A and B are shown apart, each in its own frame.
Chain A
Amino acid sequence: MQQGGMDTELEARIGALIAPYLGLEGPAMPMLHAIQATFGFVPEAAVPVVAQALNQSRAEIHGLISFYHDFRHAPAGRTVVKLCRAEACQSRGADRIADHARRRLGISWHETTADGAVTLEPIFCLGLCAAAPCAMINERSVARLDIGRLDSLLDAAA
């Protein structure tokens, strides 16, 4: 019962969150972005709420969420480190930096360290390709990255 109560509360909160977007043309993506911005991920409870609001099936909304790389199904670590893996960054040693990050953190792509501090993700192009290699640390973009710089950023995230 208690579980159900929490779900109802969560669903009501999500319903209020997406209500302002109902008047838009094609509101689904803005709704999902708003949910992720609030919770840090898209909770399972959002699926039926969004489905009902848009008069679509749960399967359609699940399919929508799972199509896009940005939408998370679970909370990320406190710091999300996105390392660019695209060609321009590769030409300036992005692979070495990625290897170093995985070794140091002891995790692979899309994983989070056991203490919940850092999530490591690949990203394909931040548009900073004339100052490669690049990364995005939470909302902050970093260019001309090298292993020393990455280490100091990871130190700060520990």
Chain B
Amino acid sequence: MNRVFVPGDALAVSVGADEVAAALRALCPGVEIVRNGSRGMAWLEPLIEVETDGGRIGYGPVDLTDLPELLSSGMMAGVAHKLRVGRPEEVPFLARQTRITFARCGVIDPISFDAYRAAGGLVGLQRALAMLPGELIAELSDSGLRGRGGAGFPTGIKWRTVQQAPADQKYIVCNADEGDSGTFADRMVMEGDPFLLIEGMVIAGITVGATRGYVYLRSEYPHAISMMNRAVVVAENEGLLGPAVLGSGHSFSIEIRVGAGAYVCGEETSLLDSLEGKRGQVRAKPPLPAIEGLFGKPTVVNNVLSLAAVPDIFAKGAAAYKALGVGRSRGTMPVQLAGNIARGGLFEVPFGITLGELVMDVGGGTATGRPVRAVQVGGPLGAYFPPALFDTPFDYEAFAARDGLIGHGGVVVFDDTVDMARMARFAMEFCAVESCGKCTPCRIGSTRGVEVLDRIIAGDASQMPLLEDLCETMKFGSLCALGGFTPYPVMSAVRHFREDFVRPLSMAAE
């Protein structure tokens, strides 16, 4: 009998995929059900796919109550139905993408090592194992890969620094503390293609001479934690991890560590302190983690998406990766379309696509059908953009030039019911809740920011200069991006939506 794919991805499960899989098992005993990752088309989840002679045919979103009728009308043969979406890769949302990091996500059984290998896995590592240390760095540097966590630092330079630092022990630390609202690409990689991340970490290890790796994974991601732990065991059994990586002379091990609900631990130095068993407080830099990182040893700290981009760069060569993108933003960016959007999900695309194309053409505007008023790009520390700036290309420098950032690639859409003064207040409140407390501009400034915004919201426009002054202090005086970037959402809201801050007292009182 044909196989049926029912995603085990956290989003699919959160909208009923487990119940659908269980019912399918009861109604069709003997059918092989594969719990794949998600294709990243959130509005179609749970998206069931049935293997047919004409390829995989998708149906979604499938509710438990739809299942008996779907089956009786011939779903297993791929016949027409109002929920039939056809071949998933032909859905425009997927057809428009350039999937490199997400090539296998949603396609294969994520925990099957054979499936990973059959779909092109391990090719990059095998090539890397035959290369010299200098060649490895050159390949990565030539690709133009920049850190996907948000800072956009050239990955090749970071790795070379660690490679050249003499030490008895070096570490690869994967930052999987994906705390930005509107982002879920790391989660999807870990749940949908975990061996990709493991392969990327192994390549990093052999390149810089590190033998130990840690994945710092946030506690809010129980599905990803479970999948990564299972995948590490499989990788050990298959010889991808262990004293002789794929039979080579390299040793590499990985341990999954779970965070405890502190947003600031997504900042690399507080992450390292947390891994060491301390309060997740930010460290002053220098020294850079590449020189003195985990337990004082040279450490590569990279985001999930940075490490997950590495195997393909080594499999197909740096030139192929660098050929994509614009300016100094090379390769693809897994953009995450979220919030009030008709077609949300994971959209991997070469840098250069405009914000307007992403929100309107790909995402279809708001889910509520109301006009788009604001779009926050780059998480809680990212700027709010009005539709007037929809011509901004997705590119590190282009966003910086408009006082924004692309961060980890999250795009959160708001319709015209949003109150931007309240969103600015939330940014300050979030910073106050999550501040590690080490530096004053962040710890005190954020609380003062909430108070000032409360007065502004109450109608006291005379407080506006104070707010701007406070944002300047936080931006330039904070130790890390939490306090330093909170002014981005606040000041962008002030700049582009001033009418929400300065309004007649009679209105404010309502």
Contact = CB atoms under 8 A, between A and B. Distances in A.
A125 to B, nearest CB: 5
Given A88-B181, A125-B181, A132 B339 contact: yes
Contact of B263 (A29, A30, A124, A126): A124
B340 A92 contact: yes
A40 to B, nearest CB: 15
B339 A87 contact: yes
A52 to B, nearest CB: 14
Interface stretch (B214-222, B234-242, B323-331, B466-474): B214-222
Contacts of B43: 130-131
Contact of B45 (A30, A88, A127, A131): A131
A132 B338 contact: yes
A90 interface: yes
Nearest to A24: B255
A129 B412 contact: yes
A58 B181 CA distance: 35
A71 interface: yes
Given A25-B295, A125-B220, A129-B184, A67 B178 contact: no
Nearest to B40: A130
A128 B223 CA distance: 12
Contact of A29 (B42, B257, B341, B380): B257
Interface in A91-139: 91-92, 123-132, 134, 136, 139
B262 A67 contact: yes
A139 B222 contact: yes
Contact of A129 (B186, B344, B418): B344
A14 interface: no
Interface in A30-86: 30, 32-33, 54, 63-64, 67-71, 86
Contacts of A123: 220, 261
Nearest to B429: A85
Contact of A125 (B13, B45, B179): B179
Interface residues of A, number: 41
Chain B CB within 10 Å, residue with most, of A123, A127, A131, A139: A127
B424 to A, nearest CB: 12
B183 A127 contact: yes
B260 interface: yes
B336 interface: yes
A141 B279 CA distance: 27
A69 B262 CA distance: 6
Contact of B277 (A54, A126, A131): A54
A69 B261 contact: yes
B10 A141 contact: yes
A142 B17 CA distance: 11
B367 A92 contact: yes
A92 B415 CA distance: 9
B423 interface: yes
Contact of A70 (B42, B260, B346): B260
Interface string B82-113: 00000000000000000000000000000000
Nearest 3 A-B pairs (CB), nearest first?
A: A28-B277, A130-B344, A86-B181
Interface of B: 10-11, 13-15, 42-43, 45, 178-184, 186-187, 212, 219-223, 255, 257-263, 274-281, 295, 336-341, 344-346, 367, 376, 380, 410, 412-415, 418, 423, 426, 430, 433-434, 436
25 contacts: A26-B275, A26-B295, A29-B258, A29-B277, A32-B260, A64-B277, A64-B279, A68-B261, A69-B260, A69-B262, A86-B182, A87-B182, A87-B376, A88-B412, A91-B340, A91-B412, A127-B178, A127-B186, A128-B10, A129-B336, A130-B338, A130-B341, A134-B14, A139-B222, A144-B15
